[in-house]
Structure 1
Amino acid sequence: MNEVDFLLWVKGPAFSIALFIFVAGLVLRLFEILSLGRKVNYAVPKGDPMQGGLREIFRRFWTDKATFQRSMLTIVAGYVFHIGLFVVIFLLAAHVEVFKSVLGFGWPNLSTPVVDAFAVVTMIALVVVLIHRLQHPVKRFLSTPGDYVVWAVTFIPLLTGYMAYHHLLLSPSLMLGLHILSVEVLLIVFPFTKLMHTFTVFLSRWYNGASMGLRGVKS
């Protein structure tokens, strides 16, 4: 298989397979979570669960002062790479075109140099997070192999995308193929790793907030 055949394969059959596994896995995991249900609460409601759930979703985007001072590096780096990932994934012109081909619609994009800068900052933040995890005795002890897999499958698409755009190391077509392949690996493992928190974080926040809202307690 030459470079052209490899690029066509990752753009065609491999992408279709990865997308199918991603969607099927996502549906399966969400079904598992939602099918757990919740016990019927016979207590008289003292508040609005919907309001409590929505309040908790947005409240948790902000960190209290004590927690921020205690874990400043983790919090700042976390915000940086999450925002950076969002910009790179959803606002790069080439990526918008991919979403358009899959979903049937697109949206405005940022200029490539701007997204490129976000990619660099995001990679730096991810490296900082990894080094901190390795150096922090408690975090290192609590880390599992899956945590490092999640880091790798998140970092490698950024790195290969950056290298493909700047024509580094390998030929542009081969590096682009490796970039697309790394994204497909990310899609495949996504539903079965902690990356799933991208979706479940909002469900868990709403559930906790709704439970407290039902009891009339502000989270």
Structure 2
Amino acid sequence: MDAQELLIWVRGTGLQIAAAVFVLGMSYRMLHLLLIGRKKSLAEARGSEWAGGLRTMWQRNFVLPRLSPRGRFTFVAGYVFHLGFFVTLFFLSQHIALFRAVFGFGWPALPRGAIDISAVLALAAMVALLAHRLVDPVKRLLSDYQDYLTWALSFLPLLTGFMLLREIAFEYVTLLTLHIASVELLLIAAPFTNLAHMFSTFISRWYNGAVMGFKGIQT
């Protein structure tokens, strides 16, 4: 199999397999989370579950908490990475063309310069977070192989995508193959690792807030 044939397989069969694993695996993971349920509380409600859940989702996602300097670094760097990843994924013209081809609709793309800045900031934030994890003795002790695996799986699509746009180090066909393959690895691993937080974090935050809201506790 030469480079062109490998690219065809990666763009076709490989992508179909990765997408199927992602959709089926993530659907099972989220359904399992939702169907676990909890025992109905016999206590009298002292507040609103919905209000508590929505309030907690807002506070945990958009309000900067009071943190130590180390905690603030992780919080800010994490948001820089997630925002940069989001912008690069959904507002690069090539990605929008793919969404339009698959789903039949699209949206305006951001200028190339804005995408470059977003990608570089996201990559820099990821390198900083990895360095902080390796240097901080507590984080290093608490980290396991999955933390480093998911870091690599998140980093490689950004890195290969940026290299592809700039045609750095390798020819276009090789870079495109590496980029698509790295995305497929991310899709396959997501349902079975803590990358599933891309969906579960919203459910868990609402659930925690709903429990506190039912008890009348302000979060």
Q: TM-score range by the shorter chain?
A: over 0.9
Q: What residue identity is the alignment partner of 1:101?
A: A
1:60-79 matched pairs, under 5 angstroms: 60-61=60-61, 62-65=63-66, 67-79=67-79
Does residue 192 in structure 1 map to residue 187 in structure 2? Answer: no
Aligned to 1:9: 9
Q: Identity rate of aligned residues, in percent?
A: 45
Once the 2 structures are TM-superposed, how far is the Cα of residue 35 of structure 1 from its aligned partner?
Answer: 1.9
Once the 2 structures are TM-superposed, how far is the Cα of residue 42 of structure 1 from its aligned partner?
Answer: 1.7
- Measure the CA separation in 2 of the matches of 1:73 and 1:79: 10
Once the 2 structures are TM-superposed, how far is the Cα of residue 113 of structure 1 from its aligned partner?
Answer: 2.2
- Measure the CA separation in 2 of the matches of 1:130 and 1:140: 10
Q: What residue identity is the alignment partner of 2:14?
A: A
Aligned to 2:117: 117
- Measure the CA separation in 2 of the matches of 1:166 and 1:107: 24
Aligned to 2:135: 135
- Measure the CA separation in 2 of the matches of 1:54 and 1:11: 40
Contact map agreement 1:14 1:184 (CA 8 A) in 2: yes
- Measure the CA separation in 2 of the matches of 1:100 and 1:22: 20
- Measure the CA separation in 2 of the matches of 1:150 and 1:197: 11
Aligned to 1:29: 29
Unmatched runs of 5 consecutive residues or more in structure 2: none
- Measure the CA separation in 2 of the matches of 1:217 and 1:54: 14
Q: CA RMSD in A?
A: 1.2
Once the 2 structures are TM-superposed, how far is the Cα of residue 121 of structure 1 from its aligned partner?
Answer: 1.1
Aligned to 1:173: 173
Once the 2 structures are TM-superposed, how far is the Cα of residue 153 of structure 1 from its aligned partner?
Answer: 0.5
Given the two structures, how large is their TM-score scaled by the length of structure 1?
Answer: 0.95
Contact map agreement 1:68 1:75 (CA 8 A) in 2: no
Once the 2 structures are TM-superposed, how far is the Cα of residue 163 of structure 1 from its aligned partner?
Answer: 0.9
Contact map agreement 1:15 1:184 (CA 8 A) in 2: yes
Q: What residue identity is the alignment partner of 2:111?
A: S
Aligned to 1:18: 18
Aligned to 1:160: 160
How many corresponding residue pairs? 218
Q: What residue identity is the alignment partner of 2:64?
A: T
- Measure the CA separation in 1 of the matches of 2:136 and 2:176: 35
Does residue 87 in structure 1 map to residue 87 in structure 2? Answer: yes
Structure 1 segments, 4+ long, off by >4 Å, are none
- Measure the CA separation in 2 of the matches of 1:165 and 1:113: 11
- Measure the CA separation in 2 of the matches of 1:54 and 1:72: 23
- Measure the CA separation in 2 of the matches of 1:73 and 1:21: 34
- Measure the CA separation in 1 of the matches of 2:179 and 2:87: 17
Once the 2 structures are TM-superposed, how far is the Cα of residue 85 of structure 1 from its aligned partner?
Answer: 0.7
C-alpha distance 137-169 of structure 1, shift in aligned 2 (>3 A): same
Contact map agreement 1:88 1:118 (CA 8 A) in 2: yes
1:118-150 superposed Cα distances (whole Å, 9 cap, x missing partner): 101110110000011001111001101010000
Q: Give the secondary structure class of the aligned counterpart of 1:19.
A: helix
- Measure the CA separation in 2 of the matches of 1:121 and 1:70: 19
Q: Give the secondary structure class of the aligned counterpart of 1:71.
A: helix
Unmatched runs of 5 consecutive residues or more in structure 1: none
